[in-house]
A and B are shown apart, each in its own frame.
Chain A
């Protein structure tokens, strides 16, 4: 039984690309997640919003997929995942948002 994960790309009304992950990310499916990230990220363009609100589990394999793109993405995470990002240092390299109606609140603010 493989780890459940579904990925979807979309755009916000303002045209910002969004990659929404639902399920769990571990070493068994981190490659799929990494591939989806690589596809969705545009190093030259607008920062990709990676919405991890519906991710129930994320470990170093998932973080490893996020790190190479740290400068080109924004993350949306629940408070559950936040300590992980802080500990790993990813929070220092990228912008992290709490999910909200506006989806724009900066975690730093």
Chain B
């Protein structure tokens, strides 16, 4: 064959460029292809093959009528897989048969139009690893022409993006799963949320099933994506013990992950998810629970087009982890919710109780009132006293009925069972009619009663019954508290609403009481009123009733001037429940019987018309007829009765007169006092609660007056709350009676008291009794501050009795000066106020006798002792510990939240929180032990030296026992400490507070600790979650960023913004161009987060591909302009793009609005690359971009960076750049990797970078790295390479020669012992330069031969030469080989 001679030569030429691929290409039977034998190939084909083979970027090409397939080594490695070498020389349509539908049309386009194609991350299913594989490729097909210029083939430059695309997709799912779980409240909501997120990634998770373990060990299907619950593969419940089940729940219960193969036979009709075919495998992972069995497990159908590798496995586990965390949060929240509901349930029970008891009262009441009415009719005309008593029964029956009805109304409102009937009513007329029933009472009270109710434009919907209660309550209130002036009722239209005002000129409401005016059972004490009777529910009921009408009630009041209640009701019925609205039915003039009790009650507050209240003469006949007359009083006495309830007053009068006493009566304490001063009675019987002057004050006033100081007083009270404090009195003489009492008892006590009083003066007794009956603590101290008297309440509150009092100001309840200096200081200050001012008040911390802390609010007055004339201080105080701690709790919670939110990680959070707890309890130390399953718990403590092993055995046992107790249940220790178990992300955590002294840990403290611990547990989980999220985010960002392999001489860094940690849009890149030069790129996209990272990834890929097509930086940036203009979020990114010749150091660059690169010369001068600058990307696409040239000199350092490195608040950018330049200038003698680390450290602001930072460093020339067989024949080429490199380092010839010889000697030595010990050994030579020195290392695989001059003179001589020629020599001998490190300074 004539071509037989030529063929080998051509083969060698075309295919020899790549040894490996070339060899396999040469084996192809080319003659059998349309291309024929290579000898006959046209020049254009040969050139194309050469370009292909010499490129290190993945490429393949197709040529000729069948589009015969060629590829290079990079393509084989990245993409071709098992198809190599089968694919070589075959038609491309066979090679890529499985994706021909995708790529065939593109190739046709190239071949018909000559236009190149561009596809970004195109999904292609490749059959290259034994299965159809999901892959993504960014590639460009460009046309190839033959020698005649005709289109005959195409070249594909391709980068595989599979890892990046899949990585971003999984990252998105994990981020979505982890996104703001605070909106998720219940487990159901949380599972639905997770379901939505998992469902969005049907490619990685074609279907998922979330099973939760029930208490009985079964697993219940709680969520499913991509598959319907109840499908054969998605049973609604699973047994964990059933052996043949599809999903082995039992193994997951034990925390295992399980892979389950799915085939169509066992599980027919599986859903396919985001793919055409169903999964062939499922991965089951547990939903981990800290320190317990899993919550359940996640079944994930696997993408059949991806191998189930570590990444995939890890992704599914992270997803399950997120679901588990969500469940943990939801369950914890649910538990709290349940506790709140239990409290609400208690409240409901209370309401139900009131409701029931009210009903129970109504029945007997009805049975009293009914027969009573009969009796009244029947006994009409009977004697007066009988009629009067019947009247008393009737009035009080009505009153009791009113009270019960009010309570019942409340129960109904609370239970939502108030049956309202809202009818349209002429509100003005209805109100006027209603109030008219009060007219006579008002007039009898001497008040002007004004009713001004002009007709309103339209009716108002009201429930008549309710409205009556509203108006009557308010009117009766007005009458009760008004002594002079007027009560005025008006009805108006204001702002489109009906407004009813009831205004009085009464006593008014103190300002501090206004907020609680409408509070149920709240009564305003010590206010002058016509009667002290009242339940404290009237106004509260009014407010509820007005609220049911969709209206509002407000009160304005000024003390001593009066009160105005304003009710606003909307017109129409739109605001009312439609079912409760009825047409007008009731006659507008009728006032229901409910007004009767109100009017009756009010009448009794007013002066009697027929009977004057005072100076009642004894009726001689009354005694004879008296029904209770067991026995006449031994000695008739003059008795003064003071009671504001007329019925009670009259009852007492009748009783006492019946016993033969002379009786005076008064309607309140003031009146009684006046009577007593006029004529001193033998005995005073007084109610405790009275308007104007109450019983206790009456007693005090009587005692203060020497004439009445010895008069015995018998107090009557119905207030159960005071019974306790009265017990002291009851032990002695009977001068206190609790209602109800029997007539006989009263008379007996009257007699006894009168007689006793005549025998001795009760003054001292009374004083003590009075003081002791005070509910507030009472004290008297002398002018030195010595406490000389205290009452029982004082002892109750502080735990110290009179026997504990000390002389001098410092009392045992003062906080300790040494241990609690702050509390001590407050008491001292308060004490000065006490002695220095005539009156005042203060709140101070004091110490109870048992050691616990109390807070008391005290008020005091200075008085002069009438006997001695000395100045005394009299004071009272009240225990406000609960209020104080409520405030403290809020403060502590806030402080804890701040600590948790500021923490960078779990450890930091825990440290902060422990510190906060220590301060809060003024504890000696606080520690946390986390039981994460290891032998000993992990200890964090306020004392950094604290070790678990060093703790006393008893403490260790105590803490371990706490671990096993229910969570969030505080346990206090007698020895002065308390602990609680909290859920920590790594396991159960026990927090132990060491008070350091025998100090009680009170109930208050325990409540606070439980509250804080609950908060802490949640907070730690949140911190942990954020921790994990940012780890994941950062790992994925780094995976997207930068080339895995950097060319020699480069160092790169990326750091995210530190606080809050944000990944972002900065990147660096190096691109090995086909001509051997290196493209270097540093860029910065606008913004942070996933969006910016995605834009960054695309810009980076595009810039890479563009540089490979056209290695001019300006052109590259212009093309990138066009790309960025199409990519949302890419506009205004800044990029520095350069192309560097590694041999000459020549750099051509162009900057799109990016900060200038910096060159630090070996002599220390700095050069900024501030030419070739133009606008950021996509600002004016199409406009030319300038380029500039420069040379990176030998041993100079080049720095590219993003603005995060240099930008600082309130500093010009130029100062940051100068700072960075100075840093590389001073580090120019530092190895490049070390310099990169140093630079990032030096430039970091305190607290870390505010913005993300990318930087790229290069020192010219890059290090030389050679590896060669340990044979002397290789020495010459190694020397040549080293000589060239030294030349590029700019070394003077003599300097270079020294290095050459030293290196030669080291290599020769390595060959000698390399040959001796292991023939076929290899030698590695590495050389790197900094600004002013050179470092060389020669490493072999043998053992260093110690110099033995006697045996081998010239080897020894070699070492002498090396030492003489280099500055330092270090020999490191190890078992694997020997390394000689040499260093030489560079001269000049």
Interface of A with B (CB < 8 Å)? Answer: 1-4, 24, 26-28, 57-61, 63-64, 67, 79-80, 83-84, 87-88
Contacts and interface: CB of A to CB of B under 8 A. Distances in A.
A88 B1361 contact: yes
A67 B1277 CA distance: 27
Nearest to A60: B1358
B1293 A60 contact: no
B1351 to A, nearest CB: 13
B1273 A60 contact: no
B1357 A27 contact: no
29 contacts: A2-B1273, A3-B1273, A3-B1275, A24-B1276, A24-B1279, A27-B1275, A27-B1312, A28-B1275, A57-B1279, A57-B1301, A57-B1304, A59-B1301, A59-B1305, A59-B1361, A60-B1308, A60-B1355, A60-B1357, A60-B1358, A63-B1357, A64-B1353, A64-B1354, A67-B1354, A80-B1297, A83-B1298, A84-B1301, A84-B1361, A87-B1360, A88-B1357, A88-B1361
B1300 interface: yes
B1311 interface: yes
A26 B1272 contact: yes
A80 B1201 CA distance: 43
A87 B1361 contact: yes
Contacts of A84: 1301, 1361
B1353 A28 contact: no
Given A57-B1300, A67-B1353, A80-B1293, A26 B1360 contact: no
Contacts of A4: 1276
Nearest to B1279: A57
B1364 interface: yes
Interface string B1339-1376: 00000000000000111011011001100000000000
B1304 to A, nearest CB: 5
Contacts of A60: 1305, 1308, 1354-1355, 1357-1358, 1361
A46 B1354 CA distance: 27
B1308 A27 contact: yes
Contacts of B1276: 1-4, 24, 26, 28
B1294 interface: yes
Chain B binding surface, main DSSP class: helix
Number of chain B interface residues as a range: 20 to 34
A2 B1272 CA distance: 8
Contact of A28 (B1272, B1357, B1364, B1365): B1272
A28 B1273 contact: yes
A87 B1301 CA distance: 12
A87 B1354 CA distance: 13
A26 B1361 CA distance: 14
B1301 A88 contact: no
Given A26-B1276, A60-B1361, 20 more contacts: A2-B1273, A3-B1273, A4-B1276, A26-B1304, A27-B1275, A27-B1311, A28-B1273, A57-B1300, A59-B1304, A60-B1357, A64-B1353, A67-B1353, A80-B1293, A80-B1297, A83-B1294, A83-B1365, A84-B1361, A87-B1361, A88-B1357, A88-B1360
A1 B1277 contact: yes
Nearest to A23: B1276
What 10 A-B pairs are tightest by C-beta distance, nearest first?
Answer: A64-B1354, A28-B1272, A60-B1358, A3-B1276, A87-B1364, A60-B1357, A59-B1304, A60-B1354, A27-B1308, A27-B1272
A59 B1276 CA distance: 12
Contacts of A83: 1294, 1298, 1365
A81 to B, nearest CB: 8
A108 B1052 CA distance: 54
A1 B1355 CA distance: 23
Interface in B1294-1317: 1294, 1297-1298, 1300-1301, 1304-1305, 1308, 1311-1312
Nearest to B1356: A60
A84 to B, nearest CB: 7
A24 to B, nearest CB: 6
Nearest to A4: B1276
A61 B1312 CA distance: 12
Contacts of A59: 1301, 1304-1305, 1308, 1358, 1361
> Which of A67, A79, A87 has the most C-beta atoms of chain B within 10 angstroms of its own C-beta?
A87
Contacts of A79: 1294
Nearest to B1298: A83
A4 B1276 CA distance: 8
Contacts of A28: 1272-1273, 1275-1276
Contacts of B1277: 1
Nearest to B1362: A60
Contacts of A63: 1354, 1357
Nearest to B1300: A57
Nearest to A86: B1364
Given A59-B1305, A88-B1361, A26 B1354 contact: no
Contacts of A2: 1273, 1276
A57 B1302 CA distance: 11
B1308 A26 contact: yes
Nearest to A28: B1272
Contacts of B1308: 26-27, 59-61
A63 B1360 CA distance: 12
A84 B1364 CA distance: 9
B924 to A, nearest CB: 72
Contacts of B1301: 57-59, 84
A86 to B, nearest CB: 9
A28 B1364 CA distance: 23
A61 to B, nearest CB: 6
A4 B1273 CA distance: 10
A59 B1353 CA distance: 13
A3 B1275 CA distance: 7
Given A2-B1276, A27-B1272, A80-B1297, A64 B1357 contact: yes
Nearest to B1363: A87
Nearest to A65: B1354
A63 B1276 CA distance: 17
A84 B1272 CA distance: 21
Contacts of B1297: 80
A109 B1279 CA distance: 33
A27 B1357 CA distance: 13
Nearest to B1296: A80
B493 to A, nearest CB: 114
Contacts of B1293: 80
Interface string B290-322: 000000000000000000000000000000000
A17 B718 CA distance: 145
Contacts of A24: 1276, 1279
B1278 to A, nearest CB: 10
Contacts of A88: 1357, 1360-1361
A79 B1365 CA distance: 15
Nearest to A62: B1354
A32 to B, nearest CB: 12
A24 B1365 CA distance: 19
A87 B1365 contact: yes
Nearest to B1272: A28
A79 B1361 CA distance: 17
Nearest to A64: B1354
A88 B1354 CA distance: 10
Contacts of B1365: 83, 87
Interface in B1274-1295: 1274-1277, 1279, 1293-1294
A46 to B, nearest CB: 27
A2 to B, nearest CB: 5
Contacts of B1300: 57
Nearest to B1304: A59
Contacts of B1360: 87-88
